[in-house]
Amino acid sequence: MYVLTYRTTPLVNRCICLSQSKLWLFGSGYASFAIMQKPRKYTRVYSWIITLTRPRTMTDTNTNIDTDTDVDTDTSANANANADALDTDSQVSSIDHDPLAVDEVAALTTRIIDNVERVIVGHRDAAEDILITMLARGHLLLEDVPGVGKTMLARSIATSLECSFNRVQFTPDLLPPDVTGVNVFDQQQQVFEFQPGPVFANVVLGDEINRAPPKTQAALLEVMAEQQVTVDGETHAVPDPFTVIATQNDIEPTQTYDLPVAEVDRFTKQIRLGYPNETEEAELLGRVAGHHPIESLEAVATVEDLNRARETVAATTVSESVRSYVAQLAGYTRDNARLGVSPRGAIALVRLAQARAVFEGRDFVIPDDIHAEIHAAWSHRIQTADTVESARIVDDALDEVPVEWYRTTMMRGEPDDIAKPGDFE
């Protein structure tokens, strides 16, 4: 058996001619093939980049294979560059960051959102939601109709923070290695090199994520939960900070796949943008009549600023009474819905409340922070009977679970156990 690893440029059809075996392969995607001694004369593969995987123990280097040497050279250079980038990212993620003062974080978030509004009209609340999600070390699901600015909003946030940004267009023929990356054999160096996928960025936009089949959607499970990718038994850390912003098409249900429950639960928040009103749309048309404002948008903060702000959020006080309140709310959803909020969902709500408190200029969480974030954090996680909306379960939980005892405790000034950031890991 002769086995070769080869990679072509995405979305560009390439042809490999193996002169001895008479095998022709076409395409632009990822796949694995074993070249037998007597293969069919012609094999046509569409919409895949071709990857032929060679066993690691194979040492025979005398196989005569005619390929595009220019592509081999480019692949080797790109592999080395990507390897250097991965090393840099792993070093950055291990650095300890000094937290900012609460008022500095509040000023930072205001500066970022004001900058985003140079591009995005009428969606200040959505920009706040994305920024709070990033401060809470989470991921965001945007569900709305096409053309309302979901991609541009994510790109504006990333540009304002000077973050690396990658976009993945999910399609029915997309495969997991197209998202996470793949090991490619360098014929010149005789070693396997990891070619990172688009998830290796600070902000990753998964466009129309529900158009891809479940096995491709599942490629995001590990990286969203653990900020790492495992390929062929080797683990690669993604850049820090790392946030996935996914958009979901909700107007063509017959041409999409439902997201797995495990993946939905990994999204910290789900929001909708909606259409702008007439005044906002008129202003938007005036801004884009010439050059698009995203072309001239400049960063007003750095990745280091974001990491330091995250440390401030992680150190925000969450009293024992607030934690108990969240636990009671979560318990109510489990008792009154087919699928209630998971412990991961409760953790997400607490972290969002911490970010909301800092956003409001406080270093401690109050029930109002829980109320401000609970619908976006929990509604998409709850599954109910067809006649009951998940948002109704959240509303009922807020109505039924009392919060007055918390206010009484705070007014009496009784000491309260303070949550440490590690309590919510």
Q: Kindly list the domain boundaries of the chain, sorted by start residue.
A: 14-58+68-93, 102-309, 315-424
- Helix, coil or strand: residue 170: coil
- The phi, psi pair for 50, rounded to 5°, reads -90, 130
Q: What residue has token string 């990333």? A: 158
Q: What pLDDT was estimated at residue 188?
A: 87
The angle, 0 to 180 degrees and rounded to 10, between the axes of the packed helices 320-336 and 390-400 is 130
- DSSP β-bridge partners for residue 17: 24
Report DSSP state, residue 183: E
Work out the burial of residue 42: count CB atoms within 10 Å of its CB; fewer than 13 is exposed, 13-18 middle, 19 or more buried: exposed
Q: Residue 102's pLDDT band (boundaries 50, 70, 90)?
A: very high
Q: How is the beta sheet containing 140-143 ordered, strand by strand?
A: 165-169, 203-207, 243-248, 140-143, 269-271
Domain 315-424 top-level CATH class: mainly alpha
Please give the structure tokens belonging to residue 354: 């911490």
Q: What pLDDT was estimated at residue 404?
A: 59
Q: What pLDDT was estimated at residue 137?
A: 95
How far is Cα of residue 397 from the mean position of the Cα atoms in its chain?
29
Please give the structure tokens belonging to residue 298: 């400049």
Q: Enumerate residues 6+ apart whose C-beta is below 8 A from 131.
A: 109, 112, 113, 157, 359
Q: Rounded to the nearest 10 degrees, how much is the dihedral formed by the CA atoms of 237, 267, 133, 363?
A: -100
CA angle 339, 344, 348 (to 5 degrees): 115
Percent over 70 (pLDDT), the chain: 72
Q: Enumerate residues 6+ apart whose C-beta is below 8 A from 13.
A: 26, 27, 28
Please give the structure tokens belonging to residue 382: 């709850």
Q: Enumerate residues 6+ apart whose C-beta is below 8 A from 153.
A: 116, 120, 123, 126, 127, 130, 142, 273
Count of beta carbons in the 10 Å neighbourhood of residue 128: 18
H/E run at residue 207? strand 203-207
- The phi, psi pair for 285, rounded to 5°, reads -65, -35
- Helix, coil or strand: residue 163: coil
Chain segment 296-312, per-residue pLDDT in tens: 899 999 999 999 999 99
Alpha-carbon torsion 173, 177, 180, 185, what sign?
negative
- The arithmetic mean of pLDDT across residues 399-423, rounded, is 54
Q: What pLDDT was estimated at residue 387?
A: 65
> What is the pLDDT of the chain when averaged over all its residues?
77
Alpha-carbon torsion 391, 395, 401, 403, what sign?
positive
Q: Residue 19's pLDDT band (boundaries 50, 70, 90)?
A: very low
Q: Which has more confidence, 413 or 190?
A: 190
- The arithmetic mean of pLDDT across residues 261-285, rounded, is 91
Instruction: Evaluate whether 187 touches 72 at the Cβ level (below 8 Å).
Output: yes
CATH number of 102-309: 3.40.50.300
- Give this prediction's pTM: 0.73
Residue 348: name the closest of 126, 138, 130 by CA. Answer: 138
CA–CA gap between residue 97 and residue 75 (Å, rounded): 35
Residue 125: name the closest of 143, 113, 139 by CA. Answer: 113
**End-to-end Cα spacing for the chain:** 48
Q: Residue 67's pLDDT band (boundaries 50, 70, 90)?
A: very low
Report DSSP state, residue 22: T
The b-or-e profile of 208-217 (16+ CB within 10 A means b, else e) is bbbbbbeebb
Task: Say yes or no to pLDDT of 337 above 80.
Answer: yes
